[in-house]
């Protein structure tokens, strides 16, 4: 089957994206055929400028428009509190809750031996150095890696390293338990176990 080259190119571009299979790629492409050229141009420009107009913050390793990023520069944020997350998307999610007053540190990954990612492949060294450089100011580190096997291992590894480095630093793990709106009836055993362990007094 001869599919026009222009269409094939877009299908192939979509197919390379995670979670988009050949059928979805075809459907998205044929949808775009009905979209005005102006919107296609905007889409193209946005993709083209995505990396050019963003920069990684050399302090927290989040993606932003400036270096340091707007959170690291914000005098209103509590610079003594660092929340450690796996990826920039986690920062967006936490920021949406609007409850966290401190700054972040983005590991850009997690310790994952099955995929050959050790502690040196992610920004753990930079975190330790960052805390060492600013020892008097930084008082608390919240480990907010995902509650998965890899995320827990990463948190545990960092906690151990931090304890060796300083005994005054407060190190905590983000709370694990039942998500809001959940049914206890349908919760898995491990979540319930953590919810029991993490119970809080009235």
Site residues for a second copy, 87-116, by CB under 8 A, read 87-89, 92, 95-96
Phi then psi for residue 181, to 5 deg, are 95, -5
| Spatial separation of the C-alpha atoms in residues 111 and 93, rounded to whole Å | 21
**According to the binding rule CB under 8 A, does residue 182 interact with a second copy?**
no
Q: Assess 41 for contact with a second copy (CB under 8 A).
A: yes
Does residue number 29 form part of the binding site for a second copy (CB under 8 A)? Answer: yes
CB of 39 to a second copy, least distance (A): 8
Give dist(CA 158, CA 75) in Å, integer: 27
Q: Which of 201, 184, 200 is nearest to 192 (CA)?
A: 184
Rounded Cα distance between 69 and 29, Å, is 35
Shortest CB 174 distance to a second copy, Å: 18
Interface residue with a second copy among 17, 132, 149, 182 (CB under 8 A) is 17
Q: CB 101 → a second copy: shortest distance, Å? A: 14
Burial of 123 (0-12, 13-18, 19+ CB in 10 A): buried
Classify burial at 152, counting beta carbons within 10 Å of its beta carbon; exposed 0-12, middle 13-18, buried 19 or more: middle
When asked if residue 81 is in the footprint of a second copy (CB under 8 A), the reply is no
Q: Total residues contacting a second copy (rule CB under 8 A)?
A: 52
Nearest distance from C-beta of residue 77 to a second copy, angstroms: 12
Nearer to a second copy, 56 or 195 (CB): 56
Residue 179 in contact with a second copy, rule: CB under 8 A: no
Query: CB of 75: closest distance to a second copy in angstroms?
Result: 15
d(CA 190, CA 184): 12
CB of 88 to a second copy, least distance (A): 6
Given a contact cutoff of 8 angstroms between Cβ atoms, the answer to whether 184 and 192 are in contact is yes
β-partners of residue 102 are 78
Residues that bind a second copy (CB under 8 A): 1-7, 9-10, 12-13, 16-20, 24, 26-33, 37, 39-54, 63-65, 70, 87-89, 92, 95-96
């Amino acid at each position: 089957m001869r599919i026009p080259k222009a269409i094939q190119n877009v299908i192939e571009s979509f197919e390379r994206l995670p979670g988009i299979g050949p059928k979805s790629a075809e459907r998205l492409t044929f949808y775009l055929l009905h979209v005005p050229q102006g919107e296609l141009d905007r889409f193209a420009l946005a993709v083209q400028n995505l990396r050019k107009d963003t920069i990684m913050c050399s302090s927290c390793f989040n993606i932003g428009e400036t270096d340091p990023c707007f959170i690291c520069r914000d005098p209103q944020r509590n610079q003594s509190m660092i929340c450690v997350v796996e990826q920039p998307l986690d920062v967006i999610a936490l920021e949406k809750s609007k409850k966290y007053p401190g700054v972040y540190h983005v590991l850009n990954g997690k310790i994952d031996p099955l995929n050959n990612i050790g502690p040196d492949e992610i920004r753990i060294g930079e975190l330790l150095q960052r805390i060492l450089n600013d020892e008097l100011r930084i008082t608390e580190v919240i480990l907010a890696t995902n509650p998965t096997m890899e995320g827990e291992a990463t948190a545990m590894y960092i906690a151990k390293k931090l304890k060796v480095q300083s005994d005054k630093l407060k190190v905590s793990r983000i709370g694990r338990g039942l998500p809001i709106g959940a049914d206890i009836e349908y919760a898995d055993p491990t979540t319930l176990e953590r919810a029991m362990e993490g119970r809080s007094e009235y």
